[in-house]
Structure 1
Amino acid sequence: MRRLFIQFYLLLMASFVVAVLLIGSLYEGTAERVGNRYLEYLVQDSLDRLSQELAEMPADQWSAHMTQYAKHLGMALHTAPLSAQPLEAEDLAFLAAGNIVLMEADDTFIQRIGQSDRVLVVGPVPYLSFLHQLRWVDVGLLLGLGLSLGLPILWWLRPHWRGLQQLVATAQRLGAGDLQARVSLPTGSSLAELGQTFDQMAERLQASIAGRKLLTDAMAHELRTPLGRLRYRLAMLASPLSDSEERAIGRDLATLEHLIDDMLTYGRLTQPGFRLTPGDWELVAWARGHLTEWQALGPQCRLSLVCDLAVLPWRGDLALLERAMDNLVANALRHARQQVQVRLQCQDEQIWLSVADDGPGVPAEAVERVFEPFLRLDESRNRRTGGAGLGLAIVRSIAQAHGGRACLLPSAQGAHFCLQLPVHLDTNGHATLTDGTSAQG
């Protein structure tokens, strides 16, 4: 609120000052100038007579005559050398023509006495001194008026700010997974229409996410039943299948089961309010222990592990990390020609678990979308390699749940996927409502 108030107040004050300056310049150019000119006319007549009288009498009588004349005029009078006056050439010419000159520095009028080298000085003139003092009063009044504008602005802005705070708080609750959060602003609020629109959006979002989860869960669970029946009936066939037919059917059934498992996992990871089960782990020994299991996913390729560290402590959900790395390694082994390399690193409080293969790689136009669910890259990673397009989406969701990211690093050959996770984190604070955009390394 402070920032919004300051911006609005400064804008109002700037507009106010500009308006005052315009009005002040207009006043100074008309009324004040006319008033000064009128005063000059009044003083001109008195000074003309006095200067003429002084020019006709000896200089030793000037003082007494000016004292008597000052009482009649009501202003101080004295003479001064012409050379001591701070005058420009045009002012001197103006004096030589018999005119008077206003000295704004000390609020006095001067007129040359005849053709002598002295001038008659009248003042300070009370009216001019009052005008100067009035300018400071005007400045003080303007400052006081400007400061007093802050109170009504604050009073007017406060209910708007409260409505905005409710919107922000509700948006934060929605982002944290509380789909029941609503703004519910009163009808009298100036932001009531915005709040109603926001609540309608939240309701549609809740219905969309709930419907998607319900559909995914229902499909996955419903598919498990016929799959179980198929396995049972295949086992009870009167005439047994050939080994090749049995292996083919087994692969198809395993693919369906894997798809169902991926759908359930992805639905659980993207569900609002999803929470991890964190623990403290050492990843170097864990990776070495899983190397044999990963190699079994693709025996036709050579799998190697590179780690420059003896130990690599980490806090997070190990079961989800295993799932993410299984997906990355299996994906690399499916598309590699000869070898896959798994590397563990630690940089800037970030753990990097990367998997690189020497396969055809990912097309440049698909780099931005490679972590999207159900994406199929038919040119290089076609359907014959298996998979349902959810493996990398699951990897990204697991990374985001830990406050990290999954990305595709530049590579001269093949694909180089990387899972970046914080070493230390609050693991229950990073679940997301919807799929974010993939980050490219």
Structure 2
Amino acid sequence: MRRLFIQFYLLLVGCFTLAILLIGLVYQVSAERAGDRYLERMMQGSLGLLTGELARLPPAHWPARMAEQSRQLNLPLQIGALANQPLAREDQAFLAAGNIVIVEEDDTFLQRIRGTDQVLIVGPVPYLSYLHELHWVDVGLLLAIGLSLGLPILLWLRPHWRGLQRLEQTARRVGDGDLSSRTGLPPGSSLGQVGRTFDQMTEQLQAMLASRKQLTDAIAHELRTPLVRLRYRLAMLDPQPHEEERQGLERDLGALDALIEEMLTYARLDRPELPLQCSDVELGDWAQSRLADWQALRPEKRLERLVPGARLPWRGDVRLLDRALENLVGNALRHAGSRVTLRMELQQAHYLLTVSDDGPGIDPALAPQIFEPFVRLDQSRDRRTGGAGLGLAIVRRIARHHGGEVALLPSAKGASFCLKLPVHLDTNRHQPLTEADHEQP
């Protein structure tokens, strides 16, 4: 808002100054030149008589005559050599031709005494000095008027300023998850209609999110109830199905249960008001403590941890970090040929947690899609490998809730995902959760 005031003020003052300069230019071209010509003609008569008289007198009588004439005109009079006058060549030629020259630097009039190389110098003339002083007075008045414009502009902009500030504060609170926040602008405000529209949008957004949460909870409850019944009836079947068929049914029921859990997790993370349960942790030690659990997902494949010698202290929601790394490491182990690497490093104000595998890799052209929910890839990374298609979408939600991001890095072999987290969790953690940013760290 301060920038808006400054821009508007500078624009108004600039336009005002330009208009005054144009008016001054017209005045200078017309009025000042006309005044100078009138003054020259007026002085030409007096100076012409005096220089004509001096031309007829011997030079020895000039001082007495000039002293007498100086008292009559009440102006200083003196005589100087034409060659010594600080004039341009054109002005000297103009003066040598018998014309009057006005020297603005010292406010004097010059006219050559006919038949000599001497010049009659009249001045400084008070009127010319007054014109110069009046010029600076005009400049000062223009500056004072320009500065005085700031007060009415400020008085006019102040209610708009306060209204925009309330809109900005409300938008920030809504962005931070407080959907009950309202602008509360008075009806007479110039931004009242904008505020009411914003409040209506917030109310609709609040109602939509509440309805979606109720729908998600209801669907999860309604789906889990028949799952429990199916497991019970499967256990009560008599005679029991073959072991292979029973294991297939258990796998399908487990996949459906995992899908419900993934959907609930994604729905919770999709809410901007999700509170983080922050705690302090050293990332290297934490990853070492979780390494055995991740390795148990695919014991036949090798999982390595690469960390720098320095410690990596971090503050954030360790529960969500565990879920994000488990999804990335689990995907890598599922698609790797034989080896997965977890690398942790510090880069400026961010930690880079990179998970790489030696599997078939991912087409870089598909990078903008893989973090969207329920998106599956072709070739080897498809539905046959398991998963609900929500793992990477959940990782991105977790990263953004911490003010970070996740990206697919270029890799010569296999796939490489980098989870970028700020070293210090700041208040700017609520990034747009629906915007697909794919900036690589």
TM-score relative to the length of structure 2: 0.91
Amino acid of the structure 2 residue aligned with 1:325 = L
**Contact 1:109 1:121 (8 Å CA) reproduced:** yes
Q: Between Structure 1 and Structure 2, how many residues are aligned?
A: 440
Q: Deviations over 1:306-327 (max 9, x none)?
A: 4455965543333322222221
Q: Secondary structure at the match of 2:80?
A: strand
- Mean CA deviation greater in 291-300 or 376-385: 291-300
Q: Secondary structure at the match of 1:400?
A: helix
Task: Name the residue aligned to 1:435.
Answer: 434
Give distance in 2, aligned partners of 1:419 and 1:40.
84
Amino acid of the structure 2 residue aligned with 1:197 = T
Q: Deviations over 1:86-126 (max 9, x none)?
A: 23333333333332222222222222222012222222223
Q: Deviations over 1:341-396 (max 9, x none)?
A: 33344444644433222222222122123222211113441111121111111122
- Report the RMSD for the aligned CA atoms in angstroms: 2.5
Quick one: higher RCO (CA 8 Å, sep 6+), 1 or 2?
1
Give distance in 2, aligned partners of 1:260 and 1:358.
30
Q: Does 1:208 align with 2:214?
A: no
Structure 1's 108 and 318: CA in aligned 2 closer, same or farther, altered over 3 A?
closer
Q: Secondary structure at the match of 1:290?
A: helix
Task: Name the residue aligned to 1:239.
Answer: 239
Task: Name the residue aligned to 2:154.
Answer: 154
Amino acid of the structure 2 residue aligned with 1:434 = L
Amino acid of the structure 2 residue aligned with 1:242 = H
Q: Deviations over 1:118-164 (max 9, x none)?
A: 22222222322211111111111112111211111211121111111
Q: Secondary structure at the match of 2:327?
A: helix
Task: Name the residue aligned to 2:390.
Answer: 390
- Listed as ranges, the gaps of 5+ residues in structure 1 are none
Q: Deviations over 1:146-196 (max 9, x none)?
A: 121111121112111111111111111011100112223223222223323
Structure 1's 319 and 140: CA in aligned 2 closer, same or farther, altered over 3 A?
closer
Q: Secondary structure at the match of 2:408?
A: strand
**Contact 2:397 2:433 (8 Å CA) reproduced:** no
Aligned pairs for 1:28-47 within 5 A = 28-47=28-47
Give distance in 2, aligned partners of 1:233 and 1:128.
113
Q: Deviations over 1:245-286 (max 9, x none)?
A: 111111110011001111111112222321122333444454
Give distance in 2, aligned partners of 1:248 and 1:41.
117
Give distance in 2, aligned partners of 1:424 and 1:114.
90
**Contact 1:376 1:389 (8 Å CA) reproduced:** yes
Give distance in 2, aligned partners of 1:139 and 1:26.
16
Aligned pairs for 1:107-118 within 5 A = 107-118=107-118
Structure 1's 291 and 72: CA in aligned 2 closer, same or farther, altered over 3 A?
closer
- Mean CA deviation greater in 233-242 or 352-361: 352-361
Structure 1's 100 and 179: CA in aligned 2 closer, same or farther, altered over 3 A?
same
Q: Does 1:83 align with 2:83?
A: yes
Q: Secondary structure at the match of 2:367?
A: helix
Structure 1's 125 and 266: CA in aligned 2 closer, same or farther, altered over 3 A?
same
Give distance in 1, aligned partners of 2:263 and 2:272.
16
- Mean CA deviation greater in 256-265 or 318-327: 318-327
Give distance in 1, aligned partners of 2:54 and 2:311.
109
Structure 1's 265 and 145: CA in aligned 2 closer, same or farther, altered over 3 A?
same
Structure 1's 188 and 380: CA in aligned 2 closer, same or farther, altered over 3 A?
farther
Give distance in 1, aligned partners of 2:393 and 2:259.
13
Amino acid of the structure 1 residue aligned with 2:197 = T
**Percent identity of paired positions between Structure 1 and Structure 2:** 58
Give distance in 1, aligned partners of 2:97 and 2:248.
121
Structure 1's 328 and 156: CA in aligned 2 closer, same or farther, altered over 3 A?
same
Amino acid of the structure 1 residue aligned with 2:407 = C
Task: Name the residue aligned to 2:138.
Answer: 138
Q: Secondary structure at the match of 1:188?
A: coil
- Mean CA deviation greater in 2-11 or 146-155: 2-11
Give distance in 2, aligned partners of 1:245 and 1:386.
19
Structure 1's 208 and 230: CA in aligned 2 closer, same or farther, altered over 3 A?
same
Task: Name the residue aligned to 1:164.
Answer: 164
Amino acid of the structure 1 residue aligned with 2:218 = A
Amino acid of the structure 1 residue aligned with 2:136 = W
Amino acid of the structure 2 residue aligned with 1:210 = A
Q: Secondary structure at the match of 2:51?
A: helix
Amino acid of the structure 1 residue aligned with 2:363 = P
Structure 1's 80 and 439: CA in aligned 2 closer, same or farther, altered over 3 A?
closer
**Contact 2:400 2:433 (8 Å CA) reproduced:** no
Q: Does 1:255 align with 2:250?
A: no
Task: Name the residue aligned to 1:408.
Answer: 408
Give distance in 2, aligned partners of 1:8 and 1:368.
41
Task: Name the residue aligned to 1:174.
Answer: 174
Give distance in 1, aligned partners of 2:286 and 2:110.
101
Amino acid of the structure 1 residue aligned with 2:410 = P
**Contact 1:336 1:358 (8 Å CA) reproduced:** yes
Structure 1's 381 and 103: CA in aligned 2 closer, same or farther, altered over 3 A?
same
Task: Name the residue aligned to 2:366.
Answer: 366
Q: Does 1:220 align with 2:215?
A: no
Q: Secondary structure at the match of 1:157?
A: helix
CA drift at 1:288: 3.9
Amino acid of the structure 2 residue aligned with 1:247 = Q
Amino acid of the structure 1 residue aligned with 2:199 = D
Task: Name the residue aligned to 2:67.
Answer: 67
Q: Does 1:332 align with 2:332?
A: yes
Aligned pairs for 1:287-302 within 5 A = 287-302=287-302
- Mean CA deviation greater in 346-355 or 18-27: 346-355
Give distance in 2, aligned partners of 1:41 and 1:144.
36
